[in-house]
């Protein structure tokens, strides 16, 4: 992620200061899908930024008078602003969720190491928060697999005082963003760690959460491409990994997409079979029956009826 990947401690400190400086202005922004973002930014009056939300939300080029002077200075100290002729452009975005601001990749998130944040992040975090509100067993050790911006792990840390919360990802830019976002939110117990699934992490967990990529992406972007026949490969791998590492009473909360083919849900069948084999109790529901309809034009989805957003909760008996 431009402006975040492989930065040193001083720049990381400056990025934390930037988030806090922007938060003090009262800034809020709800990030939309890339498709919606493109449509909004294509409007005639959207060519240049008029205020801070245009700069740090809509990723529009701006002149200095579009942002408070303190924010401009913070952007420059963090090294996340580029020049475009007479204008500038921020190389990161800030989005609102759970009363925090999260730093992630600027629009468009085209690079293979982009740190994605969007509506599914908000849906995922809401599912995790709902699970935390109803579970009886306390969370002492949790992990977010494919953590991205760290939003879910940070939500857990805010609600499970004293818990160890690992953020695992194969993308170094995501791990750095997660650490910066956790520091800006002022939460303790967060540990970013590079790992493919749980390969480089030891021990069991009270809570495992994940919102893995679930699309077929021809560009192979890590935040989007799920592999398998219809993008379900990584989601199934998360289920397999979690089933081995849940502590007694521990739960997996998986938010993902599932391609429905001729009325059937192949991911559901495979995931529930894995959970049954490991003796886990399950709940499976469609969060949204028809999302990303534009993807059905891709030949990869030629057999698909629809793409559903689903939540799988799997619990090991205590």
Digit-coded pLDDT (tens) for 70-95: 999 999 999 999 998 899 999 999 99
pLDDT of residue 141: 98
Instruction: Measure the CA–CA gap between 288 and 306, rounded to whole angstroms.
Output: 11
Please enumerate in sequence order all residues whose Cβ is within 8 A of that of 284, keeping only pairs 6 or more positions apart, or say none: 268, 271, 272, 310, 311, 312, 313
Instruction: Measure the CA–CA gap between 26 and 13, rounded to whole angstroms.
Output: 21
pLDDT of residue 162: 95
Instruction: Measure the CA–CA gap between 238 and 264, rounded to whole angstroms.
Output: 21
List for the chain the helix, strand, coil content (%; round to 5). Answer: 35, 25, 40
Confidence of residue 232 (pLDDT cuts 50, 70, 90): confident
**Which DSSP letter does residue 113 get?**
T
pLDDT of residue 229: 77
End-to-end CA distance of the chain: 41
Q: Do 196 and 171 touch, CB atoms closer than 8 A?
A: no
pLDDT of residue 216: 75
What does the domain layout of the chain look like in residue ranges?
Answer: 9-105, 119-315
Task: Report strand pairing: 281-288 vs 92-97.
Answer: unpaired
pLDDT of residue 77: 96
Average pLDDT for the chain: 94
Better pLDDT: 296 or 98: 98
Average pLDDT value for residue range 165-179: 96
Average pLDDT value for residue range 97-106: 98
Express each pLDDT in 256-310 by its tens digit: 999 999 999 999 999 999 999 999 999 999 999 999 899 899 898 999 999 999 9
Average pLDDT value for residue range 119-145: 97
pLDDT tops 80 at residue 168: yes
pLDDT of residue 214: 84
**Tokens 């050790």 belong to residue:** 141
* Top-tier CATH class for 119-315: alpha beta
pLDDT tops 80 at residue 219: no
Listed range (61-65, 178-182, 204-208, 298-302) with the worst mean pLDDT: 298-302
Instruction: Measure the CA–CA gap between 57 and 34, rounded to whole angstroms.
Output: 12
pLDDT of residue 9: 82
pLDDT of residue 226: 66
pLDDT of residue 149: 97
pLDDT tops 60 at residue 1: no
Better pLDDT: 228 or 138: 138
């Amino acid at each position: 992620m431009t402006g975040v990947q492989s930065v040193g401690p001083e720049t990381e400190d400056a990025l934390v200061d930037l988030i806090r400086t922007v938060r003090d202005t009262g800034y809020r922004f709800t990030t939309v899908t890339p498709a919606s973002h493109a449509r909004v930014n294509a409007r005639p009056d959207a060519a240049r930024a008029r205020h801070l939300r245009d700069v740090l939300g809509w990723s529009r080029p701006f002149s200095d008078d579009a942002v408070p002077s303190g924010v401009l200075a913070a952007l420059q100290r963090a090294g996340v602003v580029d020049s475009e002729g007479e204008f500038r452009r921020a190389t990161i975005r800030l989005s609102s969720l759970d009363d925090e601001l999260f730093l992630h990749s600027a629009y468009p998130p085209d690079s293979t190491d982009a740190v994605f944040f969007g509506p599914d992040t908000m849906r995922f975090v809401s599912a995790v928060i709902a699970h935390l509100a109803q579970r009886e067993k306390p969370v002492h050790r949790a992990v977010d697999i494919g953590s991205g911006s760290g939003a879910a792990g940070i939500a857990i840390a805010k609600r499970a005082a004293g818990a160890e919360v690992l953020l695992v990802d194969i993308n170094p830019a995501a791990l750095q963003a997660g650490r910066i976002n956790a520091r800006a939110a002022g939460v303790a117990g967060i540990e970013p760690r590079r790992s493919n699934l749980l390969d480089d992490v030891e021990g069991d967990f009270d809570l495992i959460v994940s919102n893995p990529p679930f699309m077929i992406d021809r560009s192979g972007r890590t935040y989007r491409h799920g592999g398998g026949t219809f993008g379900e490969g990584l989601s199934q791998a998360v289920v397999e990994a979690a089933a081995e590492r849940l502590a007694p009473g521990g739960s997996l909360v998986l938010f993902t997409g599932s391609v429905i083919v001729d009325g059937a849900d192949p991911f559901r069948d495979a995931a529930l079979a894995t959970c049954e084999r490991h003796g886990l109790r399950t709940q499976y529901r469609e969060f949204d029956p028809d999302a990303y309809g534009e993807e059905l034009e891709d030949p990869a989805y030629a057999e698909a009826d629809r793409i559903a957003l689903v939540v799988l909760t799997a619990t090991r008996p205590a």
